[in-house]
Amino acid sequence: MARRERSRLPASQRREQIIAAATALVAERGFWGLSMQDVADECGLTVPGLLHHVGSKDGLLVAVLAHRDAEDSRALGEPRPADLRTLCAALVRRNATQPEIVRLFAVLAAESLAPDHPAHDYFAARQRTVLDSLATLAKPVCDRPEALARQIMAAMDGLQLQWLRDPAGTDLVAMWREAEATLFAGLSG
């Protein structure tokens, strides 16, 4: 059996490499189709070496999701836009630049509808947090902020799925602008 060459990387760089490889594989195959051996192979590691960095397959999934959230927060900047329209437009523009991440999120969000999925609780909590945040921003401009928050989330998710299915024929940002015009028509802000 041929011996594989493995490069030594500092732990932080190795973790970034593992998260990037896992992100691509989950986006392609879903969590249930993810093999720890495939992630290890992508990174030039053994499975025990991979487990040293992430603990378990569930730990790897949590790391991928936490990394995605941290990157989104960093990209949107602090403080985040206080205006609902500005925040939504910024999110859509960001997502339009990262189809692999949006695909990862869409696949995991659908898979995690099963209560035994390791990300089930994460996505349920994230949905509550996002809806609460959108509703808070909607309060000054409409009388039914929770309903508007749900409509915004549904429109964004639906448009992103259409874009992922036909990226060459779909302009996510332009489609959002059209949806935004309808969603925010008649609002006071």
By C-alpha distance, which of 147, 131, 154, 133 is closest to 187? 147
End-of-domain residue from the set 42, 77, 112: 77
Mean pLDDT by 10 residues, the chain (189 residues): 60 92 88 92 94 92 87 73 86 92 90 93 93 93 95 97 96 97 83
Note whether 134 and 178 are same-domain residues: yes
Q: How far, in whole angstroms, is CA 29 from its chain's centroid?
A: 15
The CATH number of whichever domain residue 48 belongs to comes to 1.10.10.60
DSSP string of 149-161?
A: HHHHHHHHHHHHH
Note whether 53 and 85 are same-domain residues: no
Note whether 151 and 132 are same-domain residues: yes
Tokens for 47, please give them. Answer: 């499975």
Q: Helix, strand, coil shares of the chain as percentages rounded to 5?
A: 70, 0, 30
Rounded Cα–Cα distance for residues 90 and 53 (Å): 33
Q: Which residue has the tokens 């836009």?
A: 81
Whether residue 46 lies inside any domain: the answer is yes
Q: Which whole-number Å values give the CA distances from 32 to 25, 72, 75, in the listed order?
A: 11, 25, 29
Note whether 186 and 130 are same-domain residues: yes
Note whether 57 and 127 are same-domain residues: no
End-of-domain residue from the set 54, 77, 100: 77
pTM of the predicted model over 0.85: no
The total domain count for the chain is 2
Note whether 143 and 178 are same-domain residues: yes
Note whether 85 and 38 are same-domain residues: no
Note whether 96 and 158 are same-domain residues: yes
Contacts for 144 with CB less than 8 Å, ≥ 6 apart? none
Note whether 65 and 85 are same-domain residues: no
- The pLDDT assigned to 78 comes to 61
End-of-domain residue from the set 77, 98, 123: 77
- The pLDDT assigned to 104 comes to 86
- The pLDDT assigned to 1 comes to 42
- The pLDDT assigned to 68 comes to 86
Q: Supply the range of the domain harboring residue 35.
A: 7-77
Rounded Cα–Cα distance for residues 152 and 92 (Å): 11
Note whether 178 and 115 are same-domain residues: yes
Note whether 99 and 71 are same-domain residues: no
